[in-house]
C-alpha cells in the first residue's frame, strides 16, 4: 500500500507540530549551550574555537572571532580555567602576550558534548533509511533557503493589510535576518583568518 500524498495544509501542520515538540526543543537548545530561555553559552563556543583553529589565541582574538565584548571573554576564560578546560600561557616570542590554549580536559569535555549531540541526532532520525534521510535533509535545506529569501518575505508581506504588515515587520524584522547571515559568514571568515595566521606564524618561526 502506497503513501498518501499530503497536501500543503497537512505538510504545514506536520511541520509546525514538529517544531513545537517539547522534547526536541529542550534537548536541541541544551546541546547548543542554552539554559532555558537564556542566551547561548559562549563558553562552549570558545572551546570550539580553540579546538578548531589549532592555534593558541589571545583574548582579543577570541573576542573578535566570537563577536562579543572583551570583558565577557575574560569572564568566560576565568570560568573555563577554573574547570581546567583551558590554560593561559605566555607567547614564546613575546612574554608580554598571554595566549589561551585548550587542555586535554577541555577537548574531552567538547568530545563528550559532541557525542551527546550525535546520539540525540541519531535517535531522532533513526526512523529514516539513508535515502529517506538524504531526501528529507535536502528538502529542509531547500525550504529554509526559500523562507529566508527576500523574495518570499516580500510576497508574504504584500498579502497582508497595513496593520498586519506592521506586526509582521516587528516579528520577522528582515534586517535582523540579514544581520544573522552576515554574522554567520563573518564568524566563519574570522575563524579561517586566525587559523591561517597561526599556520603562517608557525612556518615563519620554523624558517627563521
The stretches of 127-173 forming alpha helices (DSSP H) are 130-147, 150-158, 162-172
State the cell numbers at 146: 526559500
- pLDDT, tens digit, for every residue of 116-130? 888 888 888 999 999
Question: What residue spans define the domains of the chain?
Answer: 7-39
Residue 198 in grid coordinates:
597561526
Amino acid 149: pLDDT:
87
**Strand, coil or helix: 26:** helix
Mean pLDDT value across the chain: 80
Cα-flanking dihedrals φ and ψ of residue 4, to 5°? -75, 135
Q: What is the pTM of this model?
A: 0.63
Q: How far apart are alpha carbons 52 and 191 in whole angstroms?
A: 8
State phi, psi for 112 to the nearest 5 degrees: -60, -45
Q: Please say whether the beta carbons of 63 and 27 come within 8 A.
A: no
Report the alpha-carbon distance of residue 123 to residue 31 in Å, rounded: 14
Q: What element of type H or E holds 12?
A: helix 8-19
| pLDDT one-digit tens code per residue, 154-206 | 898 899 988 888 888 877 765 555 555 555 566 566 666 665 555 445 444 44
Residue 78 pLDDT exceeds 50? yes
**23 vs 83 pLDDT, higher one:** 83
* Confidence at 104, pLDDT banded by 50, 70, 90: very high
Q: Which helix (H) or strand (E) holds 63?
A: helix 59-66
Amino acid at each position: 500500500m502506497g503513501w498518501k500524498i499530503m497536501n500543503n495544509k497537512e505538510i504545514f501542520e506536520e511541520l509546525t507540530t514538529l517544531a513545537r515538540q517539547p522534547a526536541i526543543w529542550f534537548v536541541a537548545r541544551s546541546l547548543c549551550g542554552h539554559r532555558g530561555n537564556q542566551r547561548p553559552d559562549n563558553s562552549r563556543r570558545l572551546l570550539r574555537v580553540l579546538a578548531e583553529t589549532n592555534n593558541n589565541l589571545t583574548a582579543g582574538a577570541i573576542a573578535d572571532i566570537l563577536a562579543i565584548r572583551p570583558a565577557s571573554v575574560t569572564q568566560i576564560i576565568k570560568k573555563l580555567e577554573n574547570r581546567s578546560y583551558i590554560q593561559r600561557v605566555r607567547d614564546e616570542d613575546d612574554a608580554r602576550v598571554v595566549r589561551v590554549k585548550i587542555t586535554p580536559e577541555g577537548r574531552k569535555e567538547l568530545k563528550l558534548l559532541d557525542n551527546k549531540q550525535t546520539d540525540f541526532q541519531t535517535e531522532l532520525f533513526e526512523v529514516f533509511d539513508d535515502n529517506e534521510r538524504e531526501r528529507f535533509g535536502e528538502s529542509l535545506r531547500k525550504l529554509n533557503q526559500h523562507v529566508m529569501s527576500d523574495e518570499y518575505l516580500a510576497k508574504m508581506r504584500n498579502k497582508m493589510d497595513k496593520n498586519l504588515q506592521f506586526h509582521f515587520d516587528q516579528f520577522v524584522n528582515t534586517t535582523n535576518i540579514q544581520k544573522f547571515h552576515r554574522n554567520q559568514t563573518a564568524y566563519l571568515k574570522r575563524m579561517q583568518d586566525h587559523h591561517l595566521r597561526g599556520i603562517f606564524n608557525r612556518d615563519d618561526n620554523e624558517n627563521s
